[in-house]
């Protein structure tokens, strides 16, 4: 029972964690990225569309990463290089993603709402027979490669940001761009590369959303998860470990909500849970910050 809950939490938090990592990198580079929601949606769509065409999960994930990185390029070029407003571009990208995926769903597949196809299969999970019932270990095992990749990325980004010269340069660019430029860092090139990389990460998040526990694409299936990722970046103060913690909390809220729904609580109420809890967490953090300031 507890194993099942933990396992579900780890599944539910993964897309948000991947998207939040993308958001954190952009935040560190000084680009406010609110297009996570739209990019995730594009990733989910491309993953499922590629699966329908080729039936290969590996190809699906790769093309999701690639296409989402391309989709992020307006933010990379417009926001980082040309001085466009990243908020406007972010809003535009989110709405473009919602419109484009719905349009292509109808124009290519003749479907409205949900696309299911026998060729679309969920990503394979690493199940080790005999260990599934061992407490905690069983919950940690039995996920797909993207889940483990997301955990690996927590540590990779932690080392990259705080233990390497490139990470130091990136943080410098985000905090004092003029000083970083004076030190010889090419600010806009760094930002462009990071935003494109973040696009690829969002592609992974979308692929996990569409091919992780389910194997389908539904209109607007991200349902605000990209925004929760934006909040997770704020809650975790753009620190990989803090973000992982925030995403764990979100996954827990989501999983408990699903459980309560099974107990007969109306799903309209449980749907609110992740948003209400993220809001409460931000309020809590804000209050703590206020207390600190007044001391």
Partner 1 sequence: MIAAALDTKSRLAAILFSIVAAVLLGGLVVGLTGANPISVYLEIAKGAVLGRGLDETLARSVPLVGMALAAAIALRAGLVNLGGDGQMLIGGLAAALVALYVPVPGVARAVLALAAAICAGGLYAWLAAILQLSLGIPFLIASLLFSYIARGLTSYLVRYPLRDPATGMPETYRVASGARLPAHIFDLPVSMAMIVMAVVAIVIVVNDRSGVNGFEWRMTGLNARFAQYSGVNLSRQTQRVAFLSGALAGLVGALLILGQQYRFTDGALLAPGYTWSGLMAAVLAMASPIATIVASVFFAALQVGGFSMERALGLPAVLTWVLQALIILCLAARPILFRKR
Residues binding partner 1 (CB under 8 A): 34, 74, 77-78, 82-85, 87-89, 91-93, 95-96, 98-100, 102-108, 112, 224, 227, 230-231, 234, 266, 268-269, 271-272, 275-276, 278-279, 282-283, 286-287, 289-290
User: Phi/psi of residue 246, each to 5°?
Assistant: -60, -40
Within 13 Å and on the Cβ side, how many CA atoms surround 228? 31
268 Cβ neighbours under 8 A, 6+ residues apart: none
Q: Which is nearer to partner 1, 77 or 122 (CB)?
A: 77
| DSSP label of 129 | T
**E-state strands within the chain:** 114-115, 217-218
How many residues does the structure list for the chain?
295
Q: How far is the CB of 276 from partner 1 (least distance, A)?
A: 6
Please report how close the Cβ of residue 181 comes to partner 1 at its closest, in angstroms. 18
In whole angstroms, the minimum distance from the beta carbon of 138 to partner 1 comes to 33
Q: Contact at 8 Å (CB) between 249 and 161?
A: no
If the CB atoms of residues 109 and 148 are measured against partner 1, the closer one turns out to be: 109
Distance of CA 93 to the CA centre of its chain: 15
Among residues 77 and 145, whose Cβ is nearest to partner 1?
77
Pick the closer one to partner 1 by CB: 98 or 181.
Answer: 98
User: Tokens in use for 32?
Assistant: 């406010």
CB of 114 to partner 1, least distance (A): 15
């Amino acid at each position: 029972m507890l194993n099942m809950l933990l396992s579900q939490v780890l599944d539910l938090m993964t897309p948000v964690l991947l998207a939040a990592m993308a958001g954190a990198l952009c935040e560190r580079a000084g680009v406010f990225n609110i297009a996570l929601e739209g990019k995730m949606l594009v990733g989910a769509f491309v993953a499922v569309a590629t699966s329908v065409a080729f039936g290969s999960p590996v190809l699906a994930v790769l093309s999701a990463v690639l296409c989402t990185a391309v989709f992020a390029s307006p933010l990379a070029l417009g926001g980082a290089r040309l001085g466009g407003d990243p908020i406007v571009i972010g809003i535009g990208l989110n709405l473009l993603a919602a419109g484009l995926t719905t349009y292509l769903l109808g124009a290519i597949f003749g479907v409205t709402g949900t696309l299911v196809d026998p060729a679309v299969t969920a990503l394979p999970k690493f199940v080790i027979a005999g260990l599934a019932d061992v407490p905690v270990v069983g919950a940690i095992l039995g996920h797909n490669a993207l889940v483990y990749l997301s955990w690996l990325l927590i540590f990779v980004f932690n080392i990259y940001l705080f233990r390497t010269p490139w990470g130091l340069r990136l943080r410098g660019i985000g905090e004092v761009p003029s000083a970083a430029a004076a030190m010889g860092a090419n600010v806009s090139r760094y930002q462009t590369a990071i935003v494109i990389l973040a696009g690829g990460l969002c592609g992974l998040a979308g692929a996990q959303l569409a091919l992780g526990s389910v194997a389908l694409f539904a209109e607007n299936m991200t349902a605000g998860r990209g925004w929760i990722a934006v909040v997770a970046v704020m809650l975790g103060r753009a620190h990989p470990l803090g973000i992982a913690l925030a995403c764990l909390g979100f996954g827990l809220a989501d999983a408990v909500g699903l459980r309560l729904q099974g107990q007969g609580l109306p799903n309209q109420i449980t749907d609110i849970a992740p948003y209400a809890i993220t809001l409460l967490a931000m309020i809590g953090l804000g209050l703590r910050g206020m207390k600190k300031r007044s001391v």
